[in-house]
Structure 1
Amino acid sequence: MTGITIHIIPLLRHCGKAVCILLLAACALPMYAKDKEGDNDEDPKYDETSIMVILQGLGGAEIPAVVKDEIAYLSITDVFNFLKIRNMTSETLDSLSGFFITQDAGFLIDKKNNVIRFRDKVFNVKPDDLVKMETGLYLRTDYFTSVFNLDCQFSFRSLSVKVSSKVELPAIREMRQQLIYRNLNKLKGNIVADTTIGRSKKLFKFGMADWSVVSTQRLQSVNDTWLNLTMGGTFAGGEATVSLNYNNYARQQLKAIHPDSSIIRPFDQRQQYYRLRFVNNDRKWLRQVVAGKIFTPTISSLYAPVVGVQVTNAPTTYRRSYGTYTLSNFTDPGWTVELYINNALVDYTVADAAGFYTFQVPLVYGNSQIRLRFYGPWGEERFLEENINIPFNFLPAREFEYTASAGVAEDSVNSKLGRIQASYGITNTITVGAGVEYLSSIRKANTLPFVTTSIRLVANLLFSGEYTYGVRGRGILSYRSQNNWQAELSYSKFKKGQTAIIYNWLEERKAVISKPFTSKNFSVFNRFTVDQIILPGSHYTTTEWLVSGAVYRIGTSLSTYAIFMKDEDPFVYSNLALTFRVPGNILFTPQVQYDYNSQRFMAVRAEAGKYLFKNGYLNVSYEKNYRNNITNYGIGLRYDFSFAQIGFSLWRNNNLTTLVESARGSIIHDGNSGYSGAYHRSSVGSGGIVFVPFLDLNNNERFDKGEPRVEGLQLKYNGGRMMRNLKDTSICIMDMEPYAAYLFELESKGFESVSWQISKPTIRVTIEPNQLRRVDVPVSVMGEVAGTVRLREDTLLKEQSGIKICIYKSDSTLVKCILTESDGYFNYMGLPPGDYVIQPDPAQMKKLKMKPQQAAYDIHISAKREGDVIDDIQFILERR
């Protein structure tokens, strides 16, 4: 037993020595590895990370960096690339050269000698302040400030650096230039989009219809009814509009007292409207052909509708504005006034308590059709339309524009009308024109040649002139100051004995001065007008001083009129109307009319109204006219449903009681998009678009059977009114200008999955009149690829940042290149289903003198509703 013990003890001693040797070896290996790392320039005391570098006015970007003792060192190459500063790294990655903004400001950052040469100066750098890493040089943030005058404020808590500069950096200049170019392209109509959808080629299609009904019952008298149906669509490839009107007012009310009451039939042809218009804005010599009821401004007095043909090379689209023209007038109090330019609704307002309204109409190059629509608040009157002429007509330099019209007037003698007018832009500030007008019903000279001119004398001073042989000559001078003073002078001289214009004026002189005034407690519009008419053997002058606006939150409108006639005392009177809220959220509007000659009130009126249930409005009113001894009082209710506007009112006028019921709205139908709906405002003449987002499972950009619709599509656009359909996820945009090209930016941030992306996010669509255009939006299910890149150093693997990973399609087409983050991680989402190849960038590998163990990976992205993810890609790099 003892012998055995003697033999085991030496064996235990040998084993103990072996264990000690192994422990010593294990302790020595890390020190050996550390010494091997010391052979490289990389310092293990630095922690690699990424820092958000924020440049004021531009934004931010993730920049590779290292941090030591809460001091940041930024990758010089990445910072300069972010700031768009020219730089180039040497093959050994120990120096970097380039120029700062201008070519005479060259620089050299040299790690080998630890110096920075900038312009003619040399800056010595401490060895620890300029660090060489595997992907390039890193510089302490202080040197960006002291050498390049880039103020860098590093926050260790948020790992961000705020950069500012007193000089304009190339990145800022490039962004500003891109913004300028983008705005210029918008002004010129050069809209860049991923997808462009032009005009459709349909021959026949119904689109929209407006309708309205007004029925009036007089308890002690007869009743009358007015019906309107306006339809818009496509006929023979052109824009077709038909408006049918039925009104038995004349026959019911005037047959006992008016000899022509039987002539004015309820369905009178003069009250019907029909038009067929063909438009091609890309054809410079002939852009529009119109047949049916045409609108043409005439010098002669012609008030009947004209049935004929009109051709012009003027575009229908809204042109670039070079200023504004103040348009103001009166209608009934509380009426809604809509301003249309080329059938596009551009603005609307509600007349104040005195009926005054004003618009700033954009002055655009070329002829534009300016139209006003008036809607009564209760529907007790049908909407009226008024076409107006803006006196200033400018064309761009060296551009020619013409309009020719011919037709028959629906008057008692069926007058024949012919008119042709042509204009030419000599410069952008001078336009001249000429033409001739023929009207068969004019006695004596029925052919009227004329010339016109429009001149912009200075930036805010405009002149317009016209001379018509044998009829008149007139001129208008308009000036707007920088502080919004506006003055307009006009003078017209008529030839004595002319018969083209029905009134026998000899001269008209008019002056208008207007100015808005604003302060903390009021905002009012002031206008003073003087108008003098010279007649044979007589003359009269009218003046008006108007103040309209808000004073201490009280809507105020004060108008004073004066009429001066030869050998007569002046007649002066004023209208004052106020609008303010009283307790109960009731809108109260008192109004008085005062005669200064008799020093007594001519009339008083008061109205109180209150909104009910958001879309309803109830009002009561009282009116007393002392001159005619007429008393009116009544009550009305209006409610705006989504599909129609309904109104009821009851009025008592002395011994007459009147009931009025009204309704109006519009119907929209589009079989292609499957959209049908009703709206409480008019729609005919405008256009729209329906976006249908769907999940493009097979990635063929077509809406195939079985592919589901998706909700959450976000849009950015200008103009129109958007309605979302929660049932089928479609988005409808209405009230858009026909024939105009709209740019839509589609965003996928509202989708339920981040893998659902829109591959073509910008779309330009040309709007068709009276139509809804369907646009299918394919939503691609994008796959994601992710992985890591590590560098092998002997037996250690270290995460590698700044490595460029490139993804190619199976046909070697480059899809995307991305950089690894500070921990060597990379990922990219945006791969449609298919086969791809992913690999480190060979050019960068050669420059870094590295190579991957596996050169590339072949990956396949599957078509899945939730998206495919491949996240196990690993690249192991080795030094060559």
Structure 2
Amino acid sequence: MRLLALVALLSVCLLPRSAAAREHWRLRQGASGVADTTAEAALVELRLGQLASRTVLAYGAGSDVLLPLMQFFELAGIHATADSAGGVSGLLQPGSVPVRVSPRRRELQVGRTTVTVAPAELRQAEGELYLSAARLGALLGIRIVVNWSDLEVVVPDPSALPIAQARRREAARALLLRSHGNEAAEATTVPEGSGGWHGMVADYSLLAPARDPLGGGSYSIALGSNVLGGSLELGARSRGRADAGSASVDASWLGVWRANRRITQLRLGDGQATGPRGRQLRGFGVTNAPFLRPSLVGTIPYRGQLPDGWQVEFYRGGELVAFDSAGANNQFSAELPVVYGENPIDIVAYGPSGETRTIGRTFRVSSALLPARRFEYGLSAGGCRYVACRGTGNLDLRYGVSRRWTAQAGVDALTRDSLGNLWHPYASITGSLTNSWNAQVEAVGNGFVRAGLDYEPSIDVHLVGEVARYDDRVFASLMNPGRRRFRTALTAFVRPDRAHDYFYLEGSAEHTVSAGGIADRVRIGMSTQVGPIRLLPYVRFEQEHGPFMVAGTRGYQGFAAIVLPRAGWGPLLRPVWVRTALEGQGVRRLSLAMLTAARPVTASTRVEVGVRWARGTGGPTFTMGVASFLRAFRALTTFDAPAGGVPSVSQLVQGSVMYDRDAGAVTLASGPALQRSGVT
């Protein structure tokens, strides 16, 4: 008997595949003694693209084939179970949609939908349930191709199946691991500026009214070049009437040494003072802070719980940044790389049978945060340029206490002619209480004490609170110019449904106590969309009382509306963009109205027309503008026609000229190129 079975097996293997199928059917028919005239049994290769394959027993009926349902689900990664009655139950992902195939009732249930299956589409044999490939493909949303000549049943595109999703995750994880391994090898150092003169950059801007180009106009010009291994910048801009000949002149030289740990930047001449409240000065500034700070701050830990066998991936901007799997203790953890500012992270969890769960989290990193154990200093001194002081100096020290907290301390000193000198020592601590809570506490001598709290669990919820107490005893204080004594503020943003990102609520409230009185301000607004129209209604209230305030309570209601371009509006109106705004005190007292429409006329030119009105101006003002963004320059022509007034036309032109000595070429650009051209 064993010899007979071996001979039969060898004969099947040596025959062509189509003949082998027929012979296999005859062997099964002879063994059972029962002939099935509607379905032909065959061994076929079940293949899911290039992902997985398995040899299974199937039944062919014409051009269709009945496939073993449990084996197909197992190969595709779909969780399913068989009951004692021979039925098969499973869950289709995403959404955990229940599916059940009942051989007794010949029914196929998907969710709440029940479909009757024809007798030729369902078969039960030897404890296995077989389902038509056509029915199975419709059930899973895939295409199943039957090739009887090669005895193959192929799913050409299995991307919708859990196994394909798992393979994509495996490939993305392997790529992430390779990129982490190559970071050190791929790290490059920006070369220091070489000696010699390589070229020059000139930025210019000119505003000229048509009625009085010189008297009512203004200009600015800035030159930049590499000098003595650094960047030299010279600038001049008109002050007052252009024809008066009065101009403000700036000059500065900046040296950068990226590899030097003690001094990375030295600025001589006009620039910004160091410290948290930098002001314009003419003098020097030196620091060991990087000239271009890397956007990546470091990593923050994230921990959670999932059932055993689940995998979790973390995406930032659609890019996989970390992954992990839940173990026997149902715990998972990951170190998430974060950059300065807002870090919206999508956390996607995958079950062993294709289940998917997605949640969003946001990690906000303050710009004041330094990497752990990093120390930076800043020192500057010079004459004040545009504030009411004669000289200013600053010493600023910062240290990354941990990857979550940064401490800062320093002193601001200002000298004045007749008002008395100012001395402001300060200290602050900034960091994260949790992944969602950020805090900052700051104290400035002879200035203020302030504390702020920021809560942002996701990009859909953001709450910010701040409280501050000010020192109003300093006369003409630069830290407290409004002579405030106390201030509290709260802002909130809530988006109920991320799938409808246009709908959100926002609000703010502020309470201020100053020498002039007490002021309270509240604003509540929302955003929604109706067809192509984005609506932004709001209400705001103001309440003031005090010796130097207009006492009373005032309420305002208003809205802004944006009409987005629509393809169905025809070739003339299709690219038109419209914005309007209204505000009033009550229904009958309108205080502000505005309407603007814009349309591109060429690839580089846009035309805007509009009208605006405000109470107390005497009438509406009609406006028109033509904006051109050319390769050599950009220009804006504006026309204003107030009711009962004199119309005016003005022209603004901006651009830059770049000379590259090494290439011997002159290039024109439409925008400012200083510090961006590669020459300075």
Contact 2:297 2:370 in 1 (8 A): no
What's the CA shift string for 1:22-45, capped at 9, x where partnerless?
Answer: xxxxxxxxxxxxxxxxxxxxxx99
Query: Counterpart amino acid of 1:454?
Result: T
Once the two structures are superposed, the pairs formed by residues 456-467 of structure 1 within 5 Å of their partners are 456-467=432-443
How far did 1:611 drift? Answer: 1.2
The residue aligned with 1:506 is: 485
Cα 1:683–1:508 shift into 2, 3 Å: same
Structure 1 vs Structure 2: percent identity of aligned residues? 14
Instruction: Say whether residues 1:279 and 2:256 are aligned partners.
Output: yes
User: What's the counterpart of residue 245 of structure 1?
Assistant: 237
Give me the whole-angstrom Cα distance separating, in 2, the residues matched to 1:565 and 1:592.
24
Matched, 1:416 2:391: yes
Superposed displacement of residue 286, structure 1: 1.4
Match in the other structure for 2:139: none
Give, in angstroms, the shift of residue 172 of structure 1. Answer: 9.7
1:528 equivalenced with 2:507 (yes/no): yes
**Shift of residue 239 of structure 1?**
1.9
What's the offset of the Cα at 1:674?
A: 4.5
TM-score by length of 1: 0.47
1:469 equivalenced with 2:463 (yes/no): no
Report the CA distance between 1:478 and its aligned residue: 0.6
From the superposition, tell whether residues 413 and 645 of structure 1 become closer, same or farther in structure 2 (CA, over 3 Å). closer
Report the AA paired with residue 427 of structure 2: V
Contact 2:600-2:607 at 8 Å conserved across structures: yes
Q: Does 1:566 align with 2:545?
A: yes
Q: Which amino acid aligns with 1:572?
A: G
Task: Classify 1:320/1:483 alpha carbon distance in 2 versus 1 (closer, same or farther; 3 Å).
Answer: closer
CA contact (8 A) 1:522 1:552 kept: no
Asked if structure 2 preserves the Cα contact closer than 8 Å seen for 1:522 and 1:550, the reply is no
Which amino acid is the alignment partner of residue 186 of structure 2? V
1:544 aligns with 2:520: no
Q: Secondary structure at the match of 1:289?
A: strand
2:206 corresponding residue in structure 1: 213
Cα distance change, pair 184–451 in 1 and its aligned pair in 2 (3 A): farther
Partner of 2:494: 515
C-alpha separation in 2, matches of 1:275 and 1:364: 30
Does the CA contact (< 8 Å) of 2:298 and 2:371 recur in 1? no
**TM alignment of 1:296-695, pairs within 5 A:** 296=273, 305-321=280-296, 363=340, 393-410=368-385, 415-441=390-416, 443=419, 446-482=422-458, 484-499=460-475, 500=477, 501=479, 502-516=481-495, 523-536=502-515, 538-548=517-527, 550-566=529-545, 568-580=551-563, 581=565, 584-585=572-573, 586-596=576-586, 599-653=588-642, 654-687=644-677
TM-score if structure 2 supplies the norm length?
0.60
How far apart are the structure 2 equivalents of 1:491 and 1:184?
46
Q: 1:171 to 1:273 in 2, by over 3 A?
A: same
Q: Which amino acid aligns with 2:645?
A: N
What does 1:137-216 align with in structure 2 at a 5 Å threshold? 176-177=173-174, 179-183=176-180, 190=184, 192=186, 198-216=191-209
> Which of 287, 291, 294 is the aligned partner of 2:271?
294
User: In the alignment, is the contact (CA less than 8 A) between 1:218 and 1:657 conserved in 2?
Assistant: no
Q: One-letter code of the match for 1:287? A: T
- 3-state DSSP of counterpart to 1:182: helix
**Superposition deviation, residue 660 in structure 1:** 0.7
Separation in structure 2 between the aligned mates of residue 505 and residue 207 of structure 1, nearest angstrom: 47
**Per-residue displacement from partner, 1:198-252 (whole Å, max 9, x unpaired)?**
3341333324322221101348x98422222222321111022233213543x77
1:406–1:417 contact (8 Å) kept in structure 2: yes
Q: 1:616 to 1:412 in 2, by over 3 A?
A: closer
Instruction: Report the CA distance shift for 1:446/1:165 in structure 2 as closer, same or farther (over 3 A).
Output: closer
Residue type of the partner of 2:658? I
Q: Which amino acid aligns with 1:192?
A: E
Report the more deviating stretch, 450-459 or 282-291.
Answer: 282-291
Superimposed CA distance per residue, residues 809-851 of structure 1 (whole angstroms, 9 cap, x where no aligned partner): xxxxxxxxxxxxxxxxxxxxxxxxxxxxxxxxxxxxxxxxxxx
1:71 matched residue in structure 2 = none
Please report how far the alpha carbon of residue 410 of structure 1 lies from its aligned counterpart in structure 2 after TM superposition: 2.5
Structure 2: unaligned runs, 5 residues or longer: 1-13, 17-46, 53-144, 300-337, 343-364
Say if 1:277 and 1:233 are closer, same or farther in 2 by CA, change over 3 A.
same
RMSD over aligned Cα atoms: 4.4
Aligned residue identity for 2:630: F
Residue 436 of structure 2 contacts residue 457 of structure 2 at CA under 8 Å; is this kept in 1? Answer: yes
Deviation at 1:648, TM superposition (A): 2.1
CA distance in 2, matches of 1:172, 1:551: 38
Q: CA deviation at 1:418?
A: 0.7
The secondary structure found in structure 2 opposite 1:529 is strand
* CA positional deviation for 1:666: 2.1
Q: Distance in 2 between matches of 1:430 and 1:646?
A: 46
CA radius of gyration, larger in: 1
Distance in 2, matches of 1:212 and 1:452, equals 40
CA distance in structure 1 between the partners assigned to 2:426 and 2:387 by the alignment:
27
Residue 458 of structure 1 aligns to a residue whose secondary structure is: coil
Structure 1 residues 552 and 274: CA distance shift in structure 2, 3 A: farther
Does the 8 A contact of 1:392 with 1:454 survive in 2?
no
Partners of 1:475 and 1:212 in 2: CA distance: 42
Structure 1 counterpart of 2:234, which letter? V
Deviation digits for residues 715-752 of structure 1, max 9, x if unmatched?
xxxxxxxxxxxxxxxxxxxxxxxxxxxxxxxxxxxxxx
Cα deviation, 1:444-484, whole Å, max 9, x if unaligned, reads 56222111111211012111111122321111111101362
Most deviating of 447-456 and 532-541 = 532-541
Partner Cα distance (1:426, 1:624) in 2: 54
Amino acid in structure 2 at the alignment position of 1:451: A
Query: 1:642 and 1:157 mapped to 2: Cα distance?
Result: 62
